[in-house]
Chain A
Amino acid sequence: MIHFLKASLHEGLLNIREKLGSFLVTLLMVSLSFMVFDIFLVVSWNVGTVLSDEQESVGIELFLREDISEVEAVNLADLISVMEGVRSVYYVSSLEAEAVFRADLPEQADLLILLGPQFHLPSSIQISLHPDYRTSGKVSGLARTVSGMDGVKDVVYGQEYLPGLTSAVDMMGKLVVLAGLVLAISLSLIVANTVRLAVAKRALTVEIMSIVGAPGWFVRMPFLGEGLVTGIIGSAGSLLLTGVISSILSSSIPHDFLPGKWILLVLLLGASAGAAGSWIGMRSGIPKPRS
């Protein structure tokens, strides 16, 4: 079996050696079209990070009436903590709120003194949500429910930007998938075409191999390998080029490069589109043996 595979590999190399020029041109084409996708990915990754940081902080803030005692407030917090979609609740007493205010805005600490000793910041309950509940529909639903509860003065959540944020994150994901799909299809077609040409050029070899008893997979493997290698090297090349561009630009436009998982995904996309392409190319290229 090992000799089998070696011989098959040898055939693949013969394949590539015979038309090194056109192989390199194909690689470049694949790399460049992949690069457009990579750049798009880098942009979406960075925008996505910002957006999801925003979304991470999506929660509900519940301001309580002054006449609510600490015990009542804690009871209320316990009640909310078992509601659907709530990850955790945290009770912030009036004193705590003032301490936070002083720490966060030291220059404006005088304001509190100015307002007099009878003024207190309201106590509040901070609700953080399960990731699934950080969408505008669910947050506002939950906000409505808690706002009707006894002792609640006011409910604040990201009413303003939340709907936009949710759909922006959604849109981003859809765009990436769409771009990946378009890229995979066009890459498959590029590879299919070169494989079809390769098969046509080696029609006699293919026929003779089949006539002298080569199994079907042995005849196909070199072409499949060519597509696979084109896809993998092409996408790896594009990542390299994009990485270089990214590091050149990183001083003027601060951003992150793609995380390892995404890089792997790009390579996987390249490999599968390459394999699919050679399969398409072979289907239309490899003739039944005739003599």
Chain B
Amino acid sequence: MLISFQNVSRFYNDWPALENIELTVEPGEFLVISGPSGAGKTTLFRLIWMGDLPTSGLVEVSGYRSDRIRKGDLSSLRRKLGIVFQDFRLLSERTVFDNVALPLQVAGYSPRAVRKRVFSLLAEMELNHRRSSYPHELSGGEQQRVAIARAMVAHPVILLADEPTGNLDPDVSKHVIELLLEINRTGTAVILATHDPRQIPAGTARYLYLDRGHLANPVSWDGYNQL
């Protein structure tokens, strides 16, 4: 078991962003979490990478427990995770290469090892010709692929993708989703938050529906059609 939520609630003031969440994620799983804006998807992700802690209940990620985590453990936890955001969050003053290299550099890899890994990943993701470009010189789809490369460069066990296609055209979105499926096939667990779960072909993933902080499981495709 990679992730477990045991009766987890997160309140902001008196507002429950998440309430009584029970959830487990196994290694190599593809989990799709959908739900309207404000449902609590980002909050759930934040609890996974422990940028936030639950108000009550227990979150456990790859052996790290939310009730025992110390500041010094956060970096080792996060090296096991790759995180992708809707707004890419690339560093504008750095090239594609440097953006992708960052997780390795902050983990103390030698420049040689960094170059080797980043070059091979960029080649794999067909971004090699862009390695000296700056983010603002790229299309939205390319930027998100760079962000995914950054998330994957340190071989995470879990990839968290928070509405990664929210800012992209449908055909570019399709490409990004295919990339996520490809990553999942190599054994990385993927958790995808999205407004539109129909992007993922039925049967390839487990689907959860989040609404106003509550998790519904499982959900029917008919339910989605009413969204």
Q: Is the CB of A7 within 8 A of B71?
A: no
Find chain B residues with CB under 8 A from A213 CB.
75-79, 81, 103, 106-107, 154
Stretch of B17-25, B26-34, B45-53, B182-190 that contacts chain A:
B45-53
Partner of A291, one of B46, B79, B109, B111: B46
Contact A3 B109 (CB under 8 A): yes
Q: Which residues of B contact A179 (CB under 8 A)?
A: none
The residue in chain B whose Cβ has the minimal distance to the Cβ of A209 is: B106
Report the separation of the CA atoms of residues A215 and B106 in the bound assembly, to the nearest whole angstrom: 8
Question: Is there contact, CB below 8 Å, between B75 and A7?
Answer: no
The answer to whether A204 touches B91 (Cβ under 8 A) is: yes
Q: Please state if A216 and B51 are interface contacts (CB–CB under 8 Å).
A: no
Q: Is the CB of B108 within 8 A of A216?
A: no
Interface residues of B in 77-128 (CB under 8 A from A): 77-79, 81, 83, 85, 89, 91, 93, 102-103, 105-111
Taking the nearest CB of chain A, how far is it from the CB of B189, in angstroms? 17
Nearest chain B CB to A14's CB is how many angstroms away?
Answer: 7
| B42 contacts A291, C-beta separation under 8 Å | yes
B103, B106, B107, B111: residue with the most chain A Cβ atoms closer than 10 Å = B106
Q: Does A131 contact B (CB under 8 A)?
A: no
Smallest beta-carbon distance B100→chain A, Å? 10
Tell me the minimal C-beta distance from B28 to chain A in angstroms: 21
Q: Could you tell me which A residues sit within 8 Å of B by CB distance?
A: 1, 3-4, 6-7, 10, 14, 18, 204-205, 207-216, 218, 288-291
B105 pairs with A7, CB closer than 8 A: yes
B72 within 8 A of A: yes
Q: B64 to nearest A CB, angstroms?
A: 12
Contact of B89 among A1, A3, A204, A218 (CB under 8 A): A204
Q: When the two chains form their complex, are residues B85 and A3 in contact, meaning their CB atoms are under 8 A apart? A: no
- The answer to whether B108 and A7 touch across the interface, beta carbons within 8 angstroms, is yes
Complex Cα gap A210–B79 (Å) = 10
Q: Which 3 A-B pairs have the closest CB atoms?
A: A214-B106, A213-B79, A4-B108
Q: Which of B's residues lie within 8 Å of A, judged by CB?
A: 42, 45-46, 49, 51-52, 71-72, 74-79, 81, 83, 85, 89, 91, 93, 102-103, 105-111, 150, 154, 162
**Of A3, A212, A215, most B-chain CB atoms within 10 Å:** A212
CB <8 Å contact, A212 and B106: yes
Nearest A-chain residue to B83, judged by Cβ:
A211
Residues of B within 8 A of A4 (CB): 108
Please tell me if the beta carbons of B46 and A3 are within 8 angstroms of each other in the complex: no
Cβ-defined contact, B89 with A216, below 8 A: no
Please, how many angstroms separate the alpha-carbon atoms of A210 and B49 in the complex?
Answer: 10
| Chain A residues within 8 Å of B107, by CB | 213
- Tell me the complex Cα distance, A119–B45, Å: 106
Q: Give 20 CB contacts A-B under 8 Å.
A: A1-B108, A3-B108, A3-B109, A10-B105, A208-B91, A209-B106, A210-B78, A211-B49, A212-B78, A212-B150, A212-B154, A213-B75, A213-B76, A213-B79, A213-B103, A216-B71, A216-B72, A216-B74, A288-B51, A290-B46
A211 surroundings in chain B (CB, below 8 A): 49, 51, 78, 83
